[in-house]
Amino acid sequence: MTEINVSHSEPVFSISSAAKLLNISVHTLRMYEKEGLIVPFKKESKQRSYSKSDLDRLNCIRNAINESKISINGIKTIYSLIPCWQVVNCPEENRKKCEGYNGHGKPCWTYNHPGTVCENKNCRECEVYNNFSECGKVKELIKSI
């Protein structure tokens, strides 16, 4: 990983500075998290922190809500269509017991994944979570499979 990428994914912003930079309230950030749109880094003390990449992701989400007029539940449903099983190479056997594969309306990273290849993964660091925060990228992925 290059220096640039490290700083990009390094959680360095507190919730209040993230909110300030995004021009939204602290509560809104926690709301997005509760809805499963974002997975901020958490210290042992349970305090959240946000990377530059988190801010980019949040800008996409804000854009979807405010410009594209897609509701939060709409965004969740769109995320739930990401073919995560392709991205992480999830074996057929695992899929049967995976809520992300079988569920509807919620992104895979909002579930636990017992007995799957994702079991011990940290979703915050997963390609599925990181690469497809933009709706456009979801379609590109579907095209590529």
The contact set with DNA (CB under 7 A) reads 14-17, 24-28, 30-32, 42-48, 62, 65-66, 69, 71-73
Helix (H) or strand (E) holding 14: strand 13-14
- What does 44 bind: a second copy, DNA, none (CB cut-off 5 to 8 Å by kind)? DNA
Least separation in angstroms between residue 105's CB and DNA is: 13
Q: For residue 75, give Cα distances in angstroms to 48, 95, 142, 144.
A: 22, 23, 16, 21
Judged by beta carbon, residue 64 or residue 98, the one nearer DNA is 64
- What does 112 bind: DNA, a second copy, none (CB cut-off 5 to 8 Å by kind)? none
Own/partner pairs, 17-22, CB within 8 angstroms, 24+ separation = 18/50, 18/54, 18/55, 18/58, 21/55, 22/55, 22/58, 22/59, 22/62
Judged by beta carbon, residue 26 or residue 72, the one nearer a second copy is 72
Contacts with a second copy, residue ranges (CB under 8 A): 68-75, 77-78, 80-81, 83, 85, 101, 104-105, 135-136, 138-139, 142-143, 145
